[in-house]
Structure 1
Amino acid sequence: MKFLVVGGAGYIGSHMVKQLLSAGHDLVVADNFSTGYRSALRGGTLVELDIADEQALDALFAGHHFDAVFHFASFIQVGESVAEPAKYYQNNFAATLTLLQAMVRAGVKNFIFSSTAAVYGDPMYVPIDEEHPKAAINPYGRSKWMVEQMLEDFDRAYGLKSVCLRYFNAAGADPEGQLGERHEPETHLLPLILQAASGRRATITVYGRDYDTPDGTCIRDYVHVVDLVAAHALAVDYLLAGGASTAFNLGNGQGFS
């Protein structure tokens, strides 16, 4: 199969590219390198573009026939989304609309969306299932939920099929040591812990000590990045086999404080 991976030079995207290449697929990777790294790319054909650029997208789709598109090109920092909501609605929602419109014009019918469990907001019950009410509490979560609702409309109107994958905390690195987390600034807990343990960071801050948990700190669901990209690969197999548009939660099923 031939796939387009947007945001393929980022943390999860680069692991996705490696997994798809190892499965023998033909890939084009699109990234604007606002947060990704060229050195993270393990192969495929690189096209440097922003998915907000309609003309660049049309040229890309005119030159390639894609069986599906994987979308990882989102901003992900919750705190930043509160301080700069326009940045998140522009990139995460408006630019995704531009991408979907280009797909419709090109007749590409399958879309795998890296969403977030932040669409649920504060949980009303746990474990959270896919039917849990959607009540995002920050612009990041709302921008992703807006895309999910847009995808439902694009399915009804244009026959564009999609799978939305919702998860909280991606963690870990490529077992072969070629890839891993690399955010600037780094905000994810596990790399911060490792930086402190290795002397590259003086301290880390743990937020909250009064949770109703055994040690008082927040319990989070961490999913290994290799498991996440495996789920994305299964999602595209599902769509290519004729599956209907849907959304799945991805979780480890066991929380860690």
Structure 2
Amino acid sequence: MNALVVGGAGYVGSVVVEELVRARHSAIVYDDLSTGHRDAVHPLALLIEGALSDTEKLHRAFQTKEIDCVVHLAAKSLVAESVEKPDLYERVNVKEGALLLDAMREHGVRDLVYSSSAAVYDPGAPMPLTESSPLRPANPYGETKLRFERTLAERAEEGRLRFVALRYFNVAGASIDRGEDHRSETHLIPLLVDAALGIRGPVSIFGGDYPTPDGTAIRDYIHVVDIADAHLRALRYLGEGGESRALNLGAGRGVSVREAVVAVTSVAGRPVPTLEAPRRAGDPSVLIASSEAARRVLGWTPQFEDLRVILETAWDWRVRHPEGYKE
């Protein structure tokens, strides 16, 4: 199988590529490296540096090999930034994504696995969230993810493509060789790990007045390798004629910010400095997944269900890569 992985130099994308190569598939990575890292790309994958807006280069990427399928992970994904710059998120996440779909059609590629998000749901809906829970995003980031899902559905109805939209919850952890290294880090787990290592200063706890047991926001953490495994299973599902659909990917358990601080402290064996801060705009209080549909449809079972194990992999990778990817 020849897979074009758009955004394959990023945190999740690089592990998807790693799993594709491990399964003896061919991976062609298309990434503008604005947030991804050249050194994160598996050496057996082909990296083409380019943006989705560069349609000429994008079409050349489809011509490197006979592409069988596409994994689309490229996106703007910061909730707070999306509140400040909704037009940017609309352009990158929706309009540029449509350029990818146009290129797929021109080159006769039908199967797409899309990196969607739990942000498409109504955060006030009962937990855990299922695929039939109300779709009412709380921020522009989630709105753009939902709009692109609807674009996929429209094109699927026209017979132009088949897709699986994987609605991630909170991805964490690392593989042996690839971990989380954002130039501007906003994710809780790597921030806590870095604070424990002294790489960064105290971590801000945004909001202590949520309607949760300890007052802090609750999230559902799922290991990045399990996320990558779901992508490969989704590609196989489509290749076998599976119908287009959306699927949740989460562990099905909620962890509060304060619980995460305690857990990282335990893994690190040292205190994690924190600061109290006001809530961030657009942050829901609780997000927990039901992933029963993914288990049933894809035969997917997370291998890293224990939070401590997830945190240990994140810790081990950062200890070995204190400067992240060095390019």
Report the TM-score when normalising by structure 2.
Answer: 0.76
Tell me which residue corresponds to 1:23: 23
Q: Distance in 2 between matches of 1:129 and 1:197?
A: 35
1:11-61 deviation per Cα after TM superposition (whole angstroms, max 9, x unaligned): 000011101100000111111011111011113111111112222222222
Please, which runs of 5 or more residues in structure 1 have no aligned partner? none
Q: Which amino acid aligns with 1:127?
A: P
Following TM superposition, by how much is the alpha carbon of 1:86 offset from its aligned partner in structure 2, in angstroms? 1.5
Q: What SS does structure 1 have at the residue aligned with 2:158? A: helix
Tell me which residue corresponds to 2:97: 96
Q: Which amino acid aligns with 1:38?
A: R
Q: Distance in 1 between matches of 2:222 and 2:53?
A: 30
Tell me which residue corresponds to 1:154: 155
Q: Distance in 2 between matches of 1:202 and 1:34?
A: 25
Output aligned runs, 1:125-136, within 5 Å. Answer: 125-136=126-137
Q: Distance in 2 between matches of 1:63 and 1:204?
A: 44
Q: What SS does structure 2 have at the residue aligned with 1:33? A: coil
Following TM superposition, by how much is the alpha carbon of 1:211 offset from its aligned partner in structure 2, in angstroms? 2.7
Would you say 1:210 and 2:203 are equivalent positions?
no
1:130-185 deviation per Cα after TM superposition (whole angstroms, max 9, x unaligned): 011111121111111111000011111133000000022110111x2x11101111
Please tell me whether the aligned partners of residues 131 and 246 of structure 2 are also in contact (alpha carbons under 8 angstroms).
yes
Q: What SS does structure 1 have at the residue aligned with 2:27? A: strand
Tell me which residue corresponds to 1:34: 34
Q: What SS does structure 2 have at the residue aligned with 1:97? A: helix
Deviates most, 247-256 or 205-214: 205-214
Q: Which amino acid aligns with 1:244?
A: E
Tell me which residue corresponds to 1:182: 181
Q: What SS does structure 1 have at the residue aligned with 2:185? A: coil
Q: Which amino acid aligns with 1:109?
A: R
Would you say 1:250 and 2:244 are equivalent positions?
no
How high is the sequence identity, in percent, across the aligned residues? 45
Would you say 1:69 and 2:70 are equivalent positions?
yes
Output aligned runs, 1:46-61, within 5 Å. Answer: 46-61=47-62
1:89-115 deviation per Cα after TM superposition (whole angstroms, max 9, x unaligned): 111111100000010111101000000
Tell me which residue corresponds to 1:240: 239
Please tell me whether the aligned partners of residues 66 and 108 of structure 1 are also in contact (alpha carbons under 8 angstroms).
yes
Q: Which amino acid aligns with 2:184?
A: P
Q: Distance in 2 between matches of 1:63 and 1:30?
A: 11
Tell me which residue corresponds to 2:318: none
Tell me which residue corresponds to 2:79: 78
Tell me which residue corresponds to 2:296: none
Following TM superposition, by how much is the alpha carbon of 1:85 offset from its aligned partner in structure 2, in angstroms? 1.1
Please tell me whether the aligned partners of residues 74 and 91 of structure 1 are also in contact (alpha carbons under 8 angstroms).
yes
Counting matched residue pairs gives 255
Tell me which residue corresponds to 2:228: 229
Q: Which amino acid aligns with 1:206?
A: I
Q: Distance in 2 between matches of 1:50 and 1:64?
A: 19
Q: Which amino acid aligns with 1:196?
A: A
Please tell me whether the aligned partners of residues 104 and 158 of structure 1 are also in contact (alpha carbons under 8 angstroms).
no
Tell me which residue corresponds to 1:116: 117
Tell me which residue corresponds to 1:2: 2
Detail structure 1 runs of 4+ shifted over 6 Å in the superposition: none
Q: Distance in 1 between matches of 2:161 and 2:131?
A: 21
Tell me which residue corresponds to 1:13: 13
